[in-house]
Amino acid sequence: MSALLITTADGVRTITLNKPERHNAFDDALIAELAAAFRDAGHAPGIRAVVLDSTGKSFSAGADLEWMKRMADYSQAENLADAQGLSDMLEAIDACPRPVIGVVQGAAYGGGVGLVAACDLAVAAEGATFCLSEVKLGIIPAVISPYVVRAMGGRQARRYAVTAELFGAAQAQATGLVHEVVPAERLDEVRDKWLARLKGNGPEAMAAAKGLIRRAADDPLDSQLRHWTAEQIASRRASDEGKEGIRAFLEKRKPSWVVN
C-alpha cells in the first residue's frame, strides 16, 4: 500500500497521507515523497489548488517510531541532514504557488501540527486533537517552529511547546492554527466551499498573494517593505491576468480563468 496517494480532478491536486495503521506518521522516505509531491503540484499545468488530507483516525502523529529508533543512532551530521529534509518538506508546502487546504479529521501531533501550520487554510473536525509533544521525549519542535509560530503566535506556541498538553479543535481555532471547526461529516463541505472560492480567483494573483503575505508578515515595516509592496501591486496591475480581471469586473462578466 502506497504511503502517499495523489489524485487530480477538476484542477485540484489531492495529496493524501495513507499510513492509517501507523497514524500517518512520517519517516525520511515519506518526507521526501511529500516534498516532491508539493513541488510538482505547485508547477503542474492546470492545478488551481492543493488539498492535504489523510486516511484513518489520525491526521498525522508526527515522526514514525521506527524512524525515531534509527535516528537515535545517528551522528550529529546525520541528524542535521535528516532535519533539513523535514525543513525542506515544510517549505515545499508553505511556498507552494497554489493555495493549500489542510483537512484535519483526527489527531495531529508533533510534526503533524507543523503540516497543518504550513497550509494556507485548515479545517478540523470537532473531535480533532493537537499536541506539540516533543518535550515529552526530551527534544523540541524546532523545524516546525517557524510555521507554528506564524500560525498560532508566539505566546500560544510557547505555552504548548513547553507543556506538551493536548488541546482540541476549538482551541486550535482560537489560536489561529485552524480556520474552521465542523462536525466530521462536514469537512468535505468546507473543503469544497473553499475550493469554489479559489477557482474564482486569478491563479497568478493567488501565488503572488501568498508570497506577499509571507514577506509582509516577517519583514519590518520600513521604507524598503513599502516600496516592495508598491512594486508588487504595480506588477499585478500591468500583468495580463490583472488587466483581464479589471476588464471583466468593469464589463460585468466572469474573467477568463473562471470555468463555467
Distance CA 38, CA 48 (A): 13
For residue 170, give the C-alpha cell.
Answer: 476549538
* Distance set, CA 151 to CA 51, 158, 175, 178, 182 (Å): 18, 12, 8, 8, 19
Catalytic residue among 66, 126, 134, 165: 134
Residue 134 bears catalytic tag: yes
Long-range CB pairs of 135-139, under 8 A, 24+ apart, other chains included? 135/161, 135/162, 135/164, 136/164
**DSSP state for residue 119 in the 8-state scheme:** S
Distance CA 16, CA 54 (A): 5
**Across the chain, which distance is largest between two alpha carbons, in Å?**
65
Distance CA 75, CA 70 (A): 11
Residue with cell 489561529: 176
How many residues make up the chain in this entry?
Answer: 260
Distance CA 79, CA 161 (A): 21
The answer to whether residues 36 and 43 touch, using CB atoms and an 8 Å cutoff, is no
Q: Which are the catalytic amino acids?
A: 134
